[in-house]
Amino acid sequence: MSRSNRFLPALATFTALLLAASPCLADGEPAPPGGISSAAQEVIDRAMLAMGGAAAITSVANVSFDCVMENQQGSLSMKVAASKSGGVRIEQSLLPPGTEQPSGRQELITNRTNGWARNLDDGGVRLMPEAVSISVERAGDLWNIVRSGLGQFESVAHEGAAVFSGRPCAKLCFSSPKSQGLQQAFIFFDDETGLPLGQETATSAGMLVSGIARIVEWQLVNGIMVPRRIEVEGQTGSSSLTFSQISFDAVPAETFEVPADVQALLAAAAAGS
């Protein structure tokens, strides 16, 4: 694994909204199958309003942003483009500790059918393992964990009052995933502001790891509140992610088209299967 790909477990800690191993409890009762409990819906509605309104948030068709993840591996710069209907592209480079020259420049793309990585220095391309593709795809939802959760899960239950990052909050459990995986997620919503404070995740599948993500700073972009900085604690240590240059509905459709050399790799893989 390249050094830049070692960042993916930390990235997945707060992008992977994960499958419940057992039903969540809503005030002592099972979560409704394929639905959102009334108590959970109240929390979600308040959070959407605090972030700019459900209509504005759900209408976003695509998003692009720059971000920097920093941890003991160094500083990983990423340019992310994501479409609600069709894929995620990440252009990234790593600045190792004590160095001034970036390395590991690569482009990671998934179109929800296939995933591939391209070395931006020599042009070499390879297909990505499914676990890496999943992490890349979920990175496109970093800007709004509530929309991400509602898009990936059928059921949401209210687990009652909690304290997260020292603040009184409501705890919601997202379960009954729409895609396969071994997953579980809890999102915490601030009692005072209604905004999401962060989430806890846990899984043992592939690149995805257990951890806690805290949204510690917000910013306003075109009337929508999005994170400016997220801090993560997980099995790989501590990381921070800082966002900048966020734009909505400005990603060209051709961003996720499959180039000829990737088509050749896919054809070869299919022929060998």
**Percent of the chain at pLDDT exceeding 90:** 44
Residue 23's pLDDT is what? Answer: 37
Q: Tally the residues of the chain.
A: 273
- How much is the average pLDDT of 226-236? 86
Residue 209's pLDDT is what? Answer: 46
Determine the residue type at 155.
Answer: S
Task: Average the pLDDT over each of 107-116, 165-174, 233-242, 248-257 and give the range with the smallest value.
Answer: 233-242
Residue 111's pLDDT is what? Answer: 85
Residue 100 in this model has a pLDDT that exceeds 60:
yes
DSSP 53: -
Domain extent listing, the chain: 4-272
Residue 198 in this model has a pLDDT that exceeds 80:
yes
Nearest 5 degrees, angle CA 80-CA 173-CA 134? 30
Q: What is the pLDDT of residues 131-177, one digit of tens each?
A: 777 778 777 877 888 988 887 788 999 999 999 999 999 999 988 87
Taking each helix axis from N to C end, the angle separating 8-15 and 130-139, rounded to the nearest 10 degrees, works out to 60
**Helix or strand holding residue 212 (H, E):** strand 211-221
User: How far apart (Å, rounded) are the C-alpha atoms in residues 130 and 205?
Assistant: 11
**Helix or strand holding residue 12 (H, E):** helix 8-15
Of 79, 87, 91, 107, the C-alpha closest to 244 is: 79
Instruction: Tell me the CATH number of domain 4-272, given options 1.10.3720.10, 2.60.120.10, 2.50.20.10, 1.10.8.640.
Output: 2.50.20.10
For the chain, the average pLDDT equals 81
**Confidence label for 206 from pLDDT (cuts 50, 70 and 90):** very low
Of 145, 184, 136, the C-alpha closest to 5 is: 136
Of 268, 4, 14, the C-alpha closest to 139 is: 14
Residue 147's pLDDT is what? Answer: 84
Whole-model pTM: value is: 0.80
Residue 79's pLDDT is what? Answer: 93
Residue 145's pLDDT is what? Answer: 86
Q: What is the DSSP string of 168-184?
A: EEEEEEEEEESS-S---
Q: CB–CB of 229/51 below 8 Å?
A: no
Residue 273's pLDDT is what? Answer: 63
Q: What is the pLDDT of residues 55-91, one digit of tens each?
A: 999 899 999 999 998 888 888 899 999 998 778 999 9
